[in-house]
Structures are given as structure tokens and as C-alpha cells.
């Protein structure tokens, strides 16, 4: 399962910033550049919802294998799309849907197999497998595109996903995976998850902006600025996820979420306020630690508020909030940037992140147990 996770998230990472750049090189407008991210995330959200219902009829492990195969095949299609923006966006939506299936199934299975007392650490290991591709994948995709052309990047992103998906399907056919508690759809379990979901949406709105417009925002710092930004961000995010998992088991998930939101907001402020390599590294580090921390802590918080049969709903809610925020953030920023320019729209980054910090702090205050009167 971790091998499939690495292959799928490497595919994700390689094209997060590459596709918006490719759309721009193909003559796309700022709105179409933003759509390269929002189409992917919108399809992801739709299939995350669908997966919750499919999981009551089809095993999560088989859904995971199918998602990996589809995301690999759709990536091969990019090579045939050439510079056709509609084709690029359509294939991006297919990849986004397949990714939605995989992100729900992987996170659900890790949570289902982990003991409750070690859930944070187990999800930290999973988070490391998710985040390691981001350490090199985004920068690798951009460098291959700029030096060797995008077709090689498409090939390198597709083959591991196809092999991992097919291999995993073969393994589970020969040796069925352990049984887990069958998921049930109980929307009465949703309200306690909503404050956490709101924090995730606001924080990942800024992530959608970074993926679509990060290279343009740091262009003044030189050609190497974008690869450096995503490399440092990826390292910080990868390291923070297992650390956040341990802290969740020791301190609780909600305080870790609050600290993560504050660090992410600080990273946004530095990114839009200062230029130069030192500011770039500082912003990427703060942002990466914050996003990595919230990715782990928010999911643990949702699981803590769910029973075993509602964990699929928690997994889908977490994934929908994450990817929905990316889609909304990239599309909204693109529309605003069309009117006021990138520099003017960038001011919104620390504002939105600051609101996320306030929501996380409010959730912590209301979720803490109240002292009882003697």
C-alpha cells in the first residue's frame, strides 16, 4: 500500500506546478492556468464523495488499485494531447478523479489498521510516504519540463503508477487484505468534523494559489527560485508530518492544528512581504511545516470524533476539505489576479491563512473539556 501511495503521490507532485506552466506555454490565459489546478481538485472532490458510497459495495483495496491504474493511463494521455488546452484540462480532471479515489482509500486503510493509541504515529508514516514525493517531485517536474521537455516528465510520472496499481491488484487477488470495519454512511456524524474541515479549506486555499502561481510570484528572485521554493517546502512538509503524528499522540490533535495554522500564516506573510533567497527559504520552511502539520493533525482530530464505522466519512471529509480548498483557492485567486494582477491578489494569502488560524483557535477553545463545578 505504501508503494502505491509513493507512486500516486509522485505522479501528483510532478504535475502540480508543471501543468499550470504547460498551459501557460500553450497560450492559456491566467484563468486557464488556474483551471489546471482547480479542474484536478474539483474532480478529486467529486470522486472522494463517490468513493464513500462505492466503499460500501467494493473493497477499499480494489478501489485503491483501480485509482492508481487510471491516474497512470491518464498521464500517458498528456503526451498525445500536445498543446491542446481542452485535452490537457480533460485529462487533468480524469487524473484528479483517480487521485480522489486513492487518497480516500489509502488514508482510510492506514487508520483502520492502526491501533487508536498509535494512530498519530501510523498516519505520520503514511504522511511521510505522501510528502516524500513533494520533496523532489514538484521541482523535478519543473526541471525536466524546462530542460528535456514535458513528454519525458509524462512518461516518468505514468509508469510507476501503472506498475504499482497493477502489482497491487495482483497481490490482493492472491492474498486478500485483512478485514476492516465496513463503512456506513451516517451524516449525523458530520457536524463535529466541520470546524476542522473549515480550517483545512482555508489553509489549502493558499496551497492552491502556491501550486498555480508560485513560480510567477517568485519569478523576480531568478530562474532557480521556483524549484528552490518547492524543494524547501517539500522537505519541510515531509519532516513535519511524522513529527506532527507523534505530537498528536502526546499533546492532542487540535493544539497541533492551531500551531500548524499559525506557522502557515507566517510563511504566507514572509512570501508576499520580502524578496531574496533568505526570505524564500524562510517562507517555504514555515509554510511546509504548517501544511504538513495540519495535514496530519486535522485527520487525527476527525478520527478522534468518529466511531469505527464512520471513519470512511471522516477520511472523505478530510480529503474533500483539502482538495476543495485547493480548487477554490486557485480558481478564486486566478479570477482576482485577472483584474488586479498577481501582486495585488497576493495580499490575500496571509489574510486567508490568518482566518484559518482564528478558526483553528476557536475550535480548540470550544473542544477543550470544561471544568465541572464541585
* Tens digits of residue pLDDT in 66-79: 999 999 998 888 88
User: Percent of the chain scored above 70 by pLDDT?
Assistant: 90
How confident is the model at residue 371, as a pLDDT? 42
Q: What is the rounded CA–CA span in Å between residue 83 and residue 76?
A: 14
Overall pTM > 0.75: no
pLDDT at 322 over 70: yes
Opening angle at CA 66, ends 60 and 72, nearest 5: 140
Q: Could you please state the CATH topology (level 3) that the domain comprising 2-176+185-367 is classified under.
A: Growth Hormone; Chain: A; (1.20.1250)
Per-residue pLDDT tens over the stretch 182-237: 666 666 667 778 888 888 899 888 888 887 777 777 777 776 787 788 888 888 98
pLDDT at 373 over 50: no
Query: Between the CA of residue 228 and those of 221, 253, 279, 283, 284, what are the distances in Å?
Result: 10, 30, 12, 11, 9
Q: Please say whether the beta carbons of 160 and 321 come within 8 A.
A: no
Minimal CA–CA distance to 200: which of 286, 328, 66, 348?
328
Lowest mean pLDDT among 115-124, 179-188, 213-222, 276-285: 179-188
**8-state DSSP, 266:** H
pLDDT of residue 290: 92
| Digit-coded pLDDT (tens) for 3-18 | 888 899 888 888 777 7
Average pLDDT score, the chain: 81
Q: C-alpha cell of 177?
A: 487484505
| Cα–Cα distance measured from residue 228 to residue 276, given in angstroms and rounded to the nearest whole number | 12
Question: How is the chain split into domains, by residue range?
Answer: 2-176+185-367
Mean pLDDT, to the nearest integer, of 99-105?
87
Average pLDDT of the segment spanning 127-147 = 77
The pLDDT score that the predictor gives to residue 69 is 92
Count of other CB atoms within 10 angstroms of residue 188: 7
pLDDT-derived band of residue 372, with 50, 70 and 90 as boundaries? Answer: very low
Task: State yes or no: pLDDT of 349 exceeds 70.
Answer: yes
Question: Which range (22-31, 37-46, 73-82, 289-298) has the least confidence?
Answer: 22-31
pLDDT at site 282? 92
Residue 289 has a pLDDT of: 92
187 vs 132, which has greater pLDDT?
Answer: 132
pLDDT above 80: residue 117:
no
| pLDDT, tens only, 241-272 | 888 888 888 888 888 888 998 999 999 899 88
pLDDT band at 38 (very low <50, low <70, confident <90, very high): confident
- Lowest mean pLDDT: which of 125-139, 165-179, 287-301, 358-372? 358-372
Q: What integer pLDDT is reported at residue 308 of this predicted model?
A: 67
Q: Which residue has the higher pLDDT, 118 or 266?
A: 266
20, 138 contact by CB (below 8 A): no
Name 59's Cβ contacts closer than 8 Å, sequence gap at least 6: 172, 177
Residue 182: is it exposed, middle or buried by C-beta count within 10 angstroms (0-12/13-18/19+)? Answer: exposed
Amino acid at each position: 500500500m505504501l508503494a502505491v501511495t509513493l507512486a500516486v503521490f509522485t505522479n501528483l507532485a510532478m504535475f502540480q506546478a508543471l501543468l499550470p506552466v504547460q498551459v501557460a506555454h500553450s497560450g492559456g490565459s491566467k484563468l486557464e492556468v488556474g483551471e489546471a489546478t482547480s479542474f484536478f481538485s474539483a474532480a478529486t472532490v467529486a470522486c472522494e464523495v463517490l468513493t464513500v458510497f462505492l466503499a460500501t459495495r467494493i473493497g477499499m483495496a480494489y478501489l485503491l488499485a483501480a485509482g492508481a491504474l487510471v491516474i497512470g493511463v491518464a498521464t500517458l494521455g498528456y503526451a498525445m494531447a500536445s498543446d491542446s488546452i481542452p485535452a490537457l484540462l480533460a485529462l487533468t480532471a480524469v487524473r484528479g478523479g483517480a487521485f480522489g479515489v486513492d487518497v480516500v482509500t489509502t488514508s482510510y486503510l492506514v487508520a483502520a489498521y492502526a491501533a487508536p493509541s498509535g494512530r498519530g504515529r501510523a498516519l505520520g508514516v503514511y504522511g511521510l510516504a505522501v510528502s516524500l514525493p513533494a520533496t523532489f517531485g514538484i521541482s523535478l517536474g519543473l526541471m525536466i519540463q524546462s530542460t528535456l521537455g514535458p513528454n519525458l516528465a509524462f512518461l516518468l510520472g505514468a509508469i510507476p503508477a501503472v506498475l504499482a496499481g497493477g502489482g497491487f491488484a495482483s497481490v490482493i487477488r492472491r492474498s486478500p487484505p485483512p478485514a476492516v470495519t465496513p463503512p456506513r454512511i451516517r451524516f449525523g456524524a458530520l457536524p463535529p468534523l466541520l470546524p476542522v474541515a473549515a480550517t483545512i479549506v482555508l489553509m489549502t486555499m493558499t496551497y492552491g494559489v502556491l501550486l498555480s502561481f508560485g513560480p510567477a510570484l517568485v519569478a523576480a528572485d531568478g530562474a532557480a527560485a521556483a524549484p528552490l521554493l518547492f524543494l524547501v517546502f517539500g522537505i519541510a512538509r515531509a519532516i513535519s508530518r511524522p513529527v506532527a503524528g507523534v505530537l498528536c499522540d502526546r499533546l492532542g490533535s487540535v493544539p497541533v492544528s492551531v500551531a500548524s495554522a499559525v506557522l502557515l500564516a507566517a510563511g504566507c506573510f514572509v512570501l508576499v512581504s520580502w524578496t531574496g533567497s533568505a526570505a524564500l527559504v524562510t517562507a517555504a520552511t514555515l509554510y511546509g511545516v504548517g501544511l504538513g502539520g495540519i495535514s496530519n493533525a486535522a485527520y487525527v482530530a476527525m478520527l478522534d470524533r468518529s466511531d469505527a464505522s464512520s471513519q470512511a466519512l471522516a477520511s472523505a471529509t478530510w480529503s474533500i476539505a483539502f482538495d476543495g480548498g485547493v480548487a477554490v483557492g486557485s480558481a478564486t485567486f486566478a479570477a482576482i489576479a485577472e483584474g488586479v494582477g498577481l501582486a495585488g491578489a497576493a495580499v490575500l494569502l496571509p489574510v486567508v491563512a490568518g482566518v484559518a488560524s482564528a478558526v483553528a483557535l476557536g475550535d480548540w477553545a470550544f473542544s477543550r473539556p470544561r471544568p465541572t463545578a464541585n
